[in-house]
Structure formats: C-alpha cells, structure tokens
Amino acid sequence: MASSDAGTSWGSEYQVFLSFRGPDTRSGFTDFLYHSLTDAGIRVFRNDEELRVGETIDGLLMQAINNCRIYIPIFSPNYASSLWCLRELSQIVTNTLKSEGNKEILPVFYDVERDDVILNTPLYRGALLNLECKKKLRNEQVDAWRQALMDVRAIKGWEVKKYKSEGEVIKLLVERVIQKLKTKQKSVIERLVGIDDRISEISNLLDINSSGVRFIKIYGMGGIGKTTLANAVFKQFFPHFGNSCFVKDVRAKSSRTNGLVELEKELLEKIGHPTGTRNIDEMNYGVKRTREALCNEKVLIVLDDVDNREQVEKLIGNSTLCSGSRILITTRDEGVLPTNTSNYPVLNYEMEAMSTNHAIELFSWHAFNKDSPSPGYNDLSREIVSTTGRLPLTLEVIGSFLYRKVRGLWIETLHELKKSLPKDVFTRLKISYNALDFEQQEIFLDIACFLIGEDKTNAVYMWRDLELSPDYGVDVLIRMSLVKIVENNKFWMHDQLRDLGQEIVHLENPIDLRARSRIWTCREVLDAIRAKEMDWNVQGLSLDSYAQRDWLVR
C-alpha cells in the first residue's frame, strides 16, 4: 500500500510527488521536506519504495504520479539501485515531457553529484548494470531508465552540499513549490464562474457600436462581484475605444487627504494627459485638463466603488464627452447617480447573487480545487453555500478556509454561519479571521489598515523586526483568500475584508482613539496626537498627505 500521509480524504488529489530511496533519506532530509511542504498547505504524496510489492506501478501510485503538478526526485547514493525509484522516475519524465509545461521536475542531489545522476561516473552506471544482471531485466526497460536519468541534465536542481544547511535547501524548495502552485491555482480558482451571461447583459447596455454617450451603473451589496464584472467587461471592450482607464477603489482613495485630487491626477495620467509637477488645484487646472481630454476622443472609463455623487462630478464633471464614450460605475448605493442628474443617459444594472449551481462551482474550486464537491461533501457544501447568501467573496473566503479541513470543522463552520443574519457579511468573513493565530491576525490588520497598495518587501522587514513570521503569515492569508499579491509585489485586499479589519480595530475601543492598536486616517492621528494624555495602546499610525502616505509602527 502506498504511503501518502496527507490528503487521503481527497483520494488522489495530490500536488507534489516525492520520489526517494528510503534507507538514504527517509528519516532525515525527505521527512523534513515532507513536513515543511504539508505545513505550507501543500498536498504531498510521499511514496516509500520499501513498502512496494509486485513488478509494476499499481493504480493508486500511477494515479498519484499522473495527477501531481510537481515532482521532486531526491537523488541519493542508492537511488539508482532501486527498481521502484527508477520506475517512478521514468513515469515522471514521461509525464513531464507530455505535459506541455504544465508539470515540472525539481531534482535534489543529496550526497551525489549531477554527473553521478546523468551517468558520467560509475556510481549510477554500476547500479544499473548490477540490476540488469541480477534481475535479468529487458534491455529496453533499462534503456528507458538510463534515458530518464540522462534527461535530468537539462533541469536545474538543488545540490545540497553547495548550501549552508539542508534547512536552507528545503526552505528554497518550499518557496519554489508555492510559487509554482500559485500560478496554477490562480488560473484555476480565479476563473470567472457564471460571469459570461452578466458580461453579455452589460454589453447590451454599453452598445459600443452606437453613437452618443452612456453611463452604466452596476450596483449591489459589497462582495457580490461588481468589481470583478466591471474588470472583465473592461478587459473585453477597451480595445474598441481610443483611450481607456480603470480607476480602482474610488471610495477608499477619496477619503484620504486630497484624495479626489489624487484620483483626478490618476485619471489624467491613465488616459495619457499627465499633469506633471503642476499644482492640479491651480485655477481648476485638473478639471480643465479632464474636460479637454474627454471631449476629444472616444473613451471607456470605469470608476470602481463610488459612494457619492461628488466623486463622479469631480472626476467626470460636466465634461462634453466625445460621442461613443462609455462611463461604467460600480457602487453599493443605487442612489449615487440617479438617472435625472446627468447630461447623459444613466442605465442601471443590479447585481444579484449567483445562481445556486454557479455558487456551488465557485465554492468547490476553493474548497476542493475542482468544479464540484468531493464525494460525501455534496449536501454539506450546498448547506454552506446557502447560508453564505451565494456572495462570491464569502464563497471564496469560506471555501479557502475549509480547504483540506476535517469534516468536523465543516460542521462547526456551518453552525457559525447559520447564526449570522441574512446580510451580515462581516460575521461570515470573521470566521476565517478568528481561525488565524495571533501573529497572522496582526499581519492581517496591518494590511487592512495601512498596507493595501504597498510593497510587500518593506512590510516583511517591519514584521521581522517585530519578531513575527511574515513569510509564513502572508502565505497563510493568501491561501485563505484574505489577501492577494498583485503586480509590482503589492498587497491587495477586497474592500469588504479591508472594512472588516478596520472595524475590528475600531471595536477595540469605539470611543477612545488612543486605546486602539492602529490609527490610519490623518484627522484621527492629529486628534490623538493633540490629546494631552500620552497613555497610548497605539502600535501603528498612518500619516496621510498630498505627496506621500507614510506609516509608522511603535
């Protein structure tokens, strides 16, 4: 019987396959690597050839090899003396060559040289000859093994003896595996389930081939998928316009000092009319530049997460827009842009919850890494999906939280979800926050209050100085869909999760700012600093200004 030690409740759904010679590395390097990978949430098949019987790879082992995304053969002095290691390697190489880049081998050279493995020295050559003579094997079988070993020459691997310690090699390997699996996971999990019909409906409202100007307002509760839909529409249609831009997080950005001015600059820069160093407030310079830019060419502009009319007026104003232009707005408030307050038609699109079938599919991608529940979990999954209100964000967060968890925790989570009110999204999201340990909660709150849009590297240095564990902590948050790393290594968090984090801090003491752990708005920072008493619990401050946004930790 094969020994997997992990993920057995999900059948053969493994991500990493370890091939190793038991007597050489079983109780040392391989065991350390295995536990480091599983601690990182990776499903590992660890096969010990000493437990194998028979002459061929059986169905379970073949299924594990075929389904894995990454293979880690640990080449050790006696690896080539094992029929099972050679059989596994041959199948691994065959799978990799056929995968068109979908699968990858990460070889480890443990107490051997690369030349030993690719048969440039007597070590593995002699082992093959010895097997061939003793076992009276067919020439074509041994030749296939020789070729599999030779194929390793083109693959960069890890030669353990060249590093300071085995621990350093394992750390690098785990980081590489996480990086590789994230690429695949992103392409699978972030698939836009059930969005095609919605895009078609927005396309009819846009009617990009018609003349005139249109405003399209997508409205609905937070976490229902408005931004995701707007982003998908933008990516599909922007090539049909002379210029385009997507202005994210209007609500949050406009609340900062000079926030609307900064948004105006962002809009101008994205449509190719940067303001340079000139003061954008001077003689309404920004408004004039915006009007000039928007009246001369057909544009597609998305204003994401608008929460009041002033934001639209400041960014678009009473500009005479070029015929054919389209302005797409997402908002939680249906009344932000009534149809009678614009010079142009305003078409409304209400976002509704996903259909049950689409909600089950989205939840399953996060909870099971496939498009439907695993056997025995169908009814439980449907109950959980029903209690989430079929909101995409909640499905993603709760599904990610339950991924690879025991059935008992699923049942407990369902009971917690049932306690929440129908529209109480925060209570549902807080289930995942409560499951974090103290350090991970601290990192989550820092990101929610200070670090959205900030570079991850600087934050990691800060957290290390505070003796937290940032690499592992951030990875946990990513795996639980509580935070994402986007372009340029910056933090991104859904606005509902950001609001959750900031509300948790607010509730530390709703009255006394200085009794909270974090203060992130300029006005509140100044109020706290001006207070005479200096008995603070504050750990972090955000100083918001026109030129920059600095954050400090004390």
Task: Tell me the C-alpha distance between 501 and 426, whole Å.
Answer: 10
Does 88 qualify as catalytic in the annotation? yes
Q: Which of 13, 49, 88, 442 is catalytic?
A: 88
Strand duo 214-219 + 484-486: pairing:
unpaired
For the stretch 271-280, contacts whose Cβ atoms lie closer than 8 Å and that sit 24 or more positions apart, written own/partner, are 271/243, 271/244, 271/245, 271/299, 271/301, 272/243
**Displacement of CA 152 from its chain's centroid (Å):** 32
Read off the amino acid at residue 491.
F
Between the CA of residue 181 and those of 66, 136, 175, 479, what are the distances in Å?
16, 41, 10, 11
Do 31 and 84 contact (CB within 8 A), yes or no?
Answer: no
> Going along 307-378, which residue ranges are E strands?
326-331, 346-350
Q: What are phi and psi of 271, to 5 degrees?
A: -100, 15
List residues bridging with 348 in a β-sheet: 217
Q: For residue 408, with 0-12 CB atoms within 10 Å meaning exposed, 13-18 middle and 19 or more buried, which class applies?
A: exposed
List residues bridging with 549 in a β-sheet: 544
Where residue 151 falls (left for φ over 0; alpha for ψ -120 to 50; beta otherwise) is alpha
Q: Catalytic amino acids?
A: 88
